[in-house]
């Protein structure tokens, strides 16, 4: 029994529309951005739950995550989570205050991991945390004896009465 020879399929390769672009050129970077935007627009958003939650529930899960960071010996992040708790602005917006812009950057980096944890725990997948830098007042330095006396009076107003009774000068 002799089989008929098998013919090879013909592959027809056609160049893509437009000019070919080097992968190391600026045009290729632009095409990658355009492709990324197309991919984002094609993604369909699934209706995920967005349940309401209380401040107590938020604080509970905030503390759980902070304890996980302590257990993993990530002390810097754990201390940033110990600074306070976020405040609920509305159903899905939270605000958290940190003392410096460096802390803000660190927290925003950590939120990549923390937000999925929090969203799942609170069953609210639309939560967004806004980190705000809360600059503290500069310390006032006391130099002169009058400034020292005024500061002591602020702390203990009875000192002024004692000074008058004893007829003391500065």
Q: What is the pLDDT of residue 132?
A: 92
Residue 31: pLDDT band with limits 50, 70, 90: confident
60 pLDDT exceeds 90? yes
Residue 164 CA, distance from chain mean position: 55
* Per-residue confidence (pLDDT) for residue 9, from 0 to 100: 67
**What's the pLDDT band for 11 if we cut at 50, 70, 90?**
low
Q: Is the pLDDT of residue 157 over 50?
A: yes
Pick 137 or 67 by higher pLDDT: 67
pLDDT above 60: residue 78: yes
> Helices (DSSP H) in 10-100: which residue ranges?
26-42, 55-71, 75-82
CA angle 142, 146, 152 (to 5 degrees): 70
Per-residue confidence (pLDDT) for residue 130, from 0 to 100: 93
Does residue 121 register a pLDDT over 50?
yes
Q: What is the pLDDT of residues 97-117, one digit of tens each?
A: 998 888 999 999 998 899 999
**Predicted model pTM:** 0.54
Number of residues written out for the chain: 170
> What is the pLDDT at residue 67?
93
Neighbours of 154 (CB within 10 A): 9
**Rg of the chain in Å (alpha carbons):** 32
| Mean pLDDT to the nearest integer, 42-49 | 60
Lowest-pLDDT choice from 19-28, 76-85, 139-148: 19-28
Check residue 124 and report its DSSP letter: B
66-84 CB burial, b ≥16 within 10 A, e <16: beebeeeeeeebbebbeee
Among 121, 119, 110, 130, smallest CA distance to 69 is for 110
Q: At 88, which helix (H) or strand (E)? A: strand 87-88
Checking if the pLDDT of 61 tops 90, the result is yes
Structure token digits, residue 158: 């009875």
How far is C-alpha 69 from the chain's CA centre? 15
Residue 164 clears pLDDT 80, i.e. is over it: yes
Residue 42 clears pLDDT 80, i.e. is over it: no
Domain boundaries, the chain: 55-133, 137-170
């Amino acid at each position: 029994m002799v089989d008929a020879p098998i013919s090879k399929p013909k592959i027809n390769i056609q160049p893509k529309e437009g000019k070919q672009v080097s992968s190391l050129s600026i045009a290729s970077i632009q095409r990658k951005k355009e492709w990324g935007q197309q991919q984002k627009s094609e993604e369909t958003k699934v209706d995920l739950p967005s349940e309401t939650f209380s401040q107590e529930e938020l604080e509970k899960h905030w503390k759980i995550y902070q304890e996980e960071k302590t257990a993993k010996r990530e002390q810097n992040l754990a201390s940033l989570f110990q600074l306070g708790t976020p405040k609920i602005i509305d159903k899905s917006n939270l605000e958290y205050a940190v003392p410096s812009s460096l802390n803000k950057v660190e927290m925003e980096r950590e939120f990549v991991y923390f937000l999925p944890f929090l969203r799942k725990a609170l069953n609210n997948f639309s939560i967004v945390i806004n980190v705000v830098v809360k600059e503290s007042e500069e310390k006032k330095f006391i130099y002169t004896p009058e400034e020292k006396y005024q500061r002591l009076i602020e702390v203990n107003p009875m000192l002024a009465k004692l000074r008058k009774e004893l007829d003391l000068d500065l």
